[in-house]
């Protein structure tokens, strides 16, 4: 089985291929963000986090505004949540981070150990891989939004339980309503099953768009699965290329 170096190399190769493709489309222009190219004249939304600010701001209350229907309002409503037993074992509630006007939202399963420690989504090994995938798409983390079905880490990284999902999902729905993205990418089994209300395996529903309240939703494998099964990275790349065609 290929190691992590092979996986990194493959993603870098994919990024190189993407850059060559963009260069062919836009002669003489150094490729930057797909969102900035497709949305020419669209300014970076106020409250979008960049660079080190994304990490430091995410550990406190997100600076996404506090008006009705805003991410800030959703975060305030969530508060120091005690709606399910996970609050007893968590270190930090992990709300989400990125642009409050993102056209693409990634939804994962739940925070892991490193996320629980830092208060940020997808910052462990799987998160580092997700960042590379986002970069290979011609985007930066600050231009998308990243969150999870659950806001608190299940003990020992066990699977989410039904009562935990029931307590947390309403806030995810409100996050998605506040952002109003064009595309949602559901990472892994629990994200896809929760959002699509299906018991179908991820292998049978990935690779094509599904409707989620009028938005396009693409299920694909979770980055943690790719760390265990590097051969599946090509399937994920096929899935995100379909997303790229829309953005």
pLDDT digits (tens, 9 = 90+) for 126-143: 999 999 999 999 999 999
- Domain assignment present for residue 55? The answer is yes
- Domain assignment present for residue 30? The answer is no
Per-residue model confidence as pLDDT tens digits over 145-179:
999 999 999 999 999 999 999 999 999 999 999 99
- Domain assignment present for residue 34? The answer is no
Number of domains in the chain: 1
- Domain assignment present for residue 232? The answer is yes
- Domain assignment present for residue 146? The answer is yes
- Domain assignment present for residue 38? The answer is no
For residues 159 and 95, is the Cβ–Cβ distance under 8 A? no
- Other C-beta atoms lying within 10 Å of the C-beta of residue 55: 15
Per-residue model confidence as pLDDT tens digits over 52-93:
444 444 343 343 555 668 999 999 999 999 999 999 999 999
Q: What is the pTM of this model?
A: 0.77
Beta sheet of 145-148, edge-to-edge order: 97-98, 145-148, 104-108, 183-187, 215-220, 210-212
pLDDT attached to residue 51: 38
- Domain assignment present for residue 36? The answer is no
Can you give the CATH number for the domain in which 125 is found? 3.40.470.10
pLDDT exceeds cutoff 80 at 208: yes
Q: Which domain holds residue 57?
A: 48-246
């Amino acid at each position: 089985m290929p190691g992590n170096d092979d996986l990194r190399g493959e993603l870098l190769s994919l990024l190189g291929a993407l850059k060559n493709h963009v260069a062919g489309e836009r002669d003489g222009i150094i490729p930057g963000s797909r969102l900035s190219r497709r949305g020419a004249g669209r300014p970076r939304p106020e409250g979008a986090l960049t660079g080190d600010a994304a990490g430091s701001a995410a550990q406190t209350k997100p600076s996404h505004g506090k008006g009705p229907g805003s991410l800030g309002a959703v975060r305030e409503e969530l508060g120091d949540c005690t709606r399910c037993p996970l609050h007893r074992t968590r270190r930090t509630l992990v709300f989400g981070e990125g642009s409050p006007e993102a056209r693409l939202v990634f939804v994962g399963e739940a925070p892991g150990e490193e996320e629980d420690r830092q208060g940020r989504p997808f910052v462990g090994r799987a998160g580092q891989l997700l960042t590379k995938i986002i970069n290979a798409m011609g985007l930066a983390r600050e231009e998308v939004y990243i969150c999870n079905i659950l806001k608190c880490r299940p003990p020992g990284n066990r699977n989410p339980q039904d009562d935990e999902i029931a307590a947390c999902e309403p806030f995810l729905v409100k996050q998605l309503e506040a952002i109003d993205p064009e595309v949602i990418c559901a990472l892994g089994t629990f994200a896809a099953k929760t959002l699509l209300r299906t018991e179908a395996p991820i292998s049978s529903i990935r690779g094509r768009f599904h409707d989620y309240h009028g938005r396009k939703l693409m299920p694909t494998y979770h980055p943690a699965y790719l760390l265990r099964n590097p051969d599946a990275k090509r399937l994920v790349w096929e899935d995100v290329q379909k997303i790229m065609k829309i953005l």
